[in-house]
Structure 1
Amino acid sequence: MTLLELRDVAVAYRGAAGDVPAVRGVSLDLAAGEALGLAGESGSGKSSLAMALLRLLPRSARVTGEILLDGEDVLRMSWGRLRAVRWASASVVFQGAQHALNPVRRIGDQIAEPLLVHGLATPAQARRRTAELLEQVGLPAWRARSHPHELSGGQRQRVMIAMALACSPKLVVADEPTTALDVMVQAQVLALIRSLIAEHRISLIMISHDLSVLASTCDRLAVMYAGRVVESGPAREVFTGARHPYARALAEAFPTVGDPASRRAPRGLGGDPPDPARLPPGCAFHPRCPAALPSCAERDVGPRPVAAGWSAACVHAGPEAADTGEAGQAGESGGTGAVRENA
């Protein structure tokens, strides 16, 4: 059963010289209980897309298209209906827990707040539920009396996960939940997210620039560049054998376990993402693409099927590329072939 449908979603921010596109015509589906990873460099549009799901963007943002949550368009909900949906049907684990938590309130009160606001529990029930949630995320119940500054970074991130699960939502959006954590704590938090999602059959959208993290956590991957999804498909297959040169470069930017040469000189991608206000003509990636053809500077290519449930927006992907030999050119460097052990 499909829980979330995005139909031609676009996000633009008002600027002095006009609208600046951050997301350009994204269409994606998410099934109940499925985990989808959104990957891309900073500025690719992944966080703008995720925050648009619950209308959490600033007023300078203009969102068009359709965002159907359980068949209901979020963009056309009244504010009262939207308030009822937030936390109860869909919740967010924000990137910086230190900034998302109120520094002058105890964490137990902050976890209980969604339950009380939505009328899902009495104060006594909310306290009991808070203790249960803290224990579920690996923290002792007495930590409910702590303030955020009394917790480590990993503990604060666990509190954010507990808040996101408080009202038993159907969907959790995790915006780079492990970016500020060291490798060992990152592995613990990722394992916690995987186990809780599986236990409660919650759908997950996880945002990261790290394809290895997403490949080890999610069922499917969607790689974004310059506001578009350039490749989407099964997570492991995309990570180890991406067809779009950009997705492949993201995967190859990480060293392969057991390969000292890749640790000393990891492959990656030079240059910077384009300015959204001044996108190049044709394929936005062609100025940085090692496999660009002359036609890439003239026309953009829509998604081409690679396999069942797998597509890439590149001239080197799909049956047409195979007929002309382009697929072989694009696949010479291959994928990384391995997922990091600590992911």
Structure 2
Amino acid sequence: MSLLELDDLSVTYRIASGEVPAVRGVSLTLDSGAALGVAGESGSGKSTLAMALLRLLPRDARVGGRILLGGEDIAAMKWGRLRAVRWAEASIVFQGAQHGLNPVRRIGEQIAEPILVHGLAKPDAAEKRVAELLGQVGLPAWRARSYPHELSGGQRQRVMIAMALACSPKLIIADEPTTALDVMVQAQVLTLIKDLVAEHDISLIMISHDLSVLADVCDRLGVMYAGRLVELGPSQEVFHDAKHPYSRALAAAFPTVGDPVSRLAPKGLGGDPPDPMDLPTGCPFHPRCPIALEECSTLDVKLWPAGDDRAAACVHVRAKEEAS
């Protein structure tokens, strides 16, 4: 049985001027010990998807479909059960560690809090657990006495990872955990996450706009556009041989290290993502797509098979499958 299953998940925000469909019909599974990357531009729905997994969305969000964690329906959980699941079975690493930590509490207290709240240890044992966790993320035990402002950005992000590991969860959701860090520190934090997930056999969902980051850390990769999955498959294959034109554009948007041509003339993607309240008909990507066909503006695309363990929501993929 899969650790996590999303079945036709949808999230709609209710605002004064109408409804905003942020996630539309996403279905996927995550096995125990596996790592899934979710990529897309800002506004593609990836962070909303992450928040929905632990019912962290605001009150104006309406969620449809099913989210099963270990076979349990997240939407059907009573508050007490949901509280027990958060941290202990699934935890989240937010994008901005500076805003995720309480500035007037020492970091050791903040790491120990979920351990004590879930009754996993007495105060003395929790203190030892904090020292152990800090060691796992490459920080000395004495840093437990520090306040967040006394740490660098990379150190604060390591503290957030230690907090996520505190209760030994089965799943960690990392929402753009390295966006605010410089390149060298980003590489260190990514290596840390990769090693910890492998060492503790934890399942991982990592959210990012950077396909190269996800391809390095994750086994599988899903690409989102306008709230939908437009491609899904093994991460290296999606990164190096994308089947959807949007995935190819994302991969090409980042210059290749050591290649002055790509650095001086990076390939971008023209136009902007569509307004979720005014989505184009047919494939939502067709107004920006360099290979769009006439039928792309009318056909309701879906994920079609695109090779072994791969799928893409593109009429060119469907045409190749039908031809073969």
Q: Distance in 2 between matches of 1:257 and 1:191?
A: 18
> Does the 8 Å CA contact 2:305/2:321 hold for their aligned counterparts?
no
1:57-68 alignment runs, 5 A limit = 57-68=57-68
Paired position in structure 1 for 2:320? 321
One-letter amino acid matched to 1:192: L
Secondary structure of 2:113 counterpart? helix
Partner of 1:184: 184
Aligned-partner residue type, residue 187 of structure 2: A
Match of 1:55 in 2: 55
Distance 1:80 1:241, change over 3 A: same
Give distance in 2, aligned partners of 1:60 and 1:289: 33
Shift of 1:259: 2.7
1:268 CA drift (Å): 2.1
- Corresponding residue for 1:333? none
Q: Which amino acid aligns with 1:92?
A: I
Cα offset for 1:2? 1.0
> Residues 106-150 of structure 1: CA distance to partner in whole angstroms, max 9, x if unpaired?
000000000000000000010000000001100000000000000
Aligned length: 324
CA distance in 1, matches of 2:322, 2:53: 39
Matched, 1:162 2:162: yes
Deviation at 1:262, TM superposition (A): 1.3
Letter in 1 for 2:183: V
- What's the secondary structure of 1:129's corresponding residue? helix
CA distance in 1, matches of 2:123, 2:44: 42
TM-score by length of 2: 0.98
SS at match of 1:63: strand
2:255 match: 255
In structure 1, what is the equivalent of residue 227 of structure 2? 227
Structure 1 range deviating more: 11-20 or 243-252: 11-20
C-alpha separation in 2, matches of 1:149 and 1:293? 53
The alignment partner of 1:12 has SS state of strand
The DSSP-based 3-state class of the residue aligned with 2:119 is: coil
**How far does the alpha carbon of each residue in 1:269-328 deviate from its partner, in whole angstroms, 9 at most, with x for none?**
11110011110111100000001001011112111111121100001114x336569xxx
Q: Distance in 1 between matches of 2:226 and 2:114?
A: 35
Whether the aligned pair in 1 keeps the contact of 2:233 and 2:311 (CA below 8 Å) is: yes
Provide the residue aligned with 1:203 in structure 2.
Answer: 203
In the alignment, which residue of structure 1 is the partner of 2:23?
23
Partner SS, residue 276 of structure 1 = coil
Write out the 4+ residue segments of structure 1 that deviate beyond 3 Å after TM superposition: 322-325
Does the Cα contact within 8 Å between 2:306 and 2:321 map onto a contact in 1? Answer: no
CA distance in 1, matches of 2:56, 2:245: 32
Q: Which residue of 2 aligns with 1:244?
A: 244
Matched residue, 2:141 = 141
State the match for 2:101 in structure 1: 101
TM-score normalized with structure 1 length: 0.93
Q: Which amino acid aligns with 2:320?
A: A
1:329 aligned residue? none
CA distance in 1, matches of 2:221, 2:76: 28
For residues 274-313 of structure 1, what are the structure 2 equivalents within 5 Å?
274-313=274-313
Tell me the CA shift for residue 264 of structure 1.
1.1
- 2: distance between equivalents of 1:134 and 1:151? 13
